[in-house]
A and B are shown apart, each in its own frame.
Chain A
Amino acid sequence: MIEQMDYAGTGSFIIILLVSLFIGMALSLQLSAELSGLGLKMYIGKIVGVSIIREIGPVMTALVFAGRVGSGMASELGSMILGHQVDTLRVFGVDPIKKLVTPRILSSLIMLPALTIVGDAVSILGGYYIAVFVSLQSDTFYWSSVREVVNVENVLSGFIKPFIFGYLIACISCYMGLSTKGGAMGLRRATTRAVVASFIMIIVADFILTRILLYVLGFSV
């Protein structure tokens, strides 16, 4: 379990930091270019905050997590299948689901939300850099508009998603890994399927969750 958390969390940390930073900066840059012409630059912080916390942060972190951790899970379990290690577990009376799948699901449930929080913070920081040093907006104004959107509804909306995404990624990846057949080619297929299926499920689940959360949290559409 600890080993899995280390692989999922510590191993993905730098990648999440980098991706989040540049996503935040790119978003802020785009908004800046668009809103300057309309004289609405003061909304940059607010829009960056809402879109990162509610949507881009959880989805982007989940996609990176699926690409790195999900593929790792599928290939590791796949090679254990091909190397008869899973059969060996069964011979020793050990349930492979409990031994191999459960720790991976639990570590994803813990690490993906944690990484999402870090990723959100770094994205907002990236947005700040562009808004203040490139778009020359006042930093006090940027932070006050970000603070405005860091409320219970938005945070809850962005915090529930990683749990669902983490569960989906771990289940899909473990399933694909444990279904591996056919040597190195089979392992490649299983890993690719795990990543592709996870990506699609993240995007589909994001839409469904967004619809549900907006309704439950009382946002009018």
Chain B
Amino acid sequence: MIEFDHVRFSYGAREVLRDVSFSVDFHEKVAILGGSGDGKTTILKLTMGLLRPDAGRILIDGQDISSKKEEDLREIRMKFSIVFQEGALFDSLNVKENVAFALREYRRLSEEEIEQKVRTLLKRVDLEDAMELMPEELSGGMHRRVAIMRSLAAVEPRMFLYDEPTTGLDPVNADIICKLILSLSREGKGFIIVTHKIFDAFKLAHRYMFLKNGMIMFDGRKEELTDSSIPEIQIFLTELSPRPKGSAST
């Protein structure tokens, strides 16, 4: 279980999270919604111990990670598979080496075993033929798919963390990524998806949190979210939901 207990976080003078508290079970499918700069990605980074809170506690399976040393966080991080915005593939490595990177770091495998494992993972996302391509040669959708497979290469995560996985993608590729996320989350594995694309969030999540001005303004189910009378949520929904078919465009 992930627990945020009165967490505050600032980037310099800019306070991003103000007194954030929530708890999420590893099997839950959660979408954190909010505009740019509202601290959505910060929550994921804090969960992984990549950032440290200014105040409050972050508990992962009851262990407070807020003050853990970098070397002690490895065990915690292995519970998660995180995919950063735009994939964060290593520019200097080709697709095969990107996916193999984690395998080389975590496991002692022969080159043949690594090759086999990489091929199997990439086959799962129809990118077996892209093994020798460099990241700059990939489309946005391919980038995300490789990044998701890389994050899975060496660990058996209990939960997936996705940072804006469909942002910048066309609807077809966004749909492919959504389906991939759903297929990976079977077997009781949950995810936290951070996004401002509410349409995609509705396809994936069961629980929704709405972040605004560094605070969680809403935490509940889809119906509760769409019925919410909180003005910020209404604006968010109106601005980001696709227009109904047949609506006049001006």
Contact = CB atoms under 8 A, between A and B. Distances in A.
A88 B92 contact: no
Contacts of B48: 87, 91
A3 B151 CA distance: 26
Contact of B84 (A3, A87, A94, A181): A87
Contacts of B50: 87, 90-91
B205 interface: no
B102 A92 contact: yes
Interface in B1-37: 11
B194 to A, nearest CB: 13
Interface in B58-107: 70, 74, 77, 82, 84-86, 88-92, 101-102, 105-106
B45 A93 contact: no
Interface residues of B, number: 23
Interface string A108-125: 000000000000000000
Interface residues of A, number: 15
Contacts of A94: 105
Nearest to A85: B88
Given A83-B86, A84-B85, A90 B92 contact: no
Contact of B74 (A79, A80, A93, A181): A93
Contact of B88 (A84, A93, A95, A181): A84
Interface in B166-195: none
A85 B90 contact: yes
B11 A92 contact: no
A87 B47 CA distance: 13
Contacts of A93: 74, 77, 105-106
A179 to B, nearest CB: 12
Contact of B101 (A80, A92, A95, A181): A92
Contacts of A3: 92
A140 to B, nearest CB: 51
Top 4 A-B residue pairs of the complex, sorted by shortest distance between their CB atoms: A84-B84, A84-B88, A93-B74, A88-B88
Interface of A: 3, 79-80, 83-85, 87-88, 90-95, 181
Given A85-B91, A92-B105, 7 more contacts: A3-B92, A79-B91, A84-B84, A87-B88, A88-B90, A90-B50, A92-B102
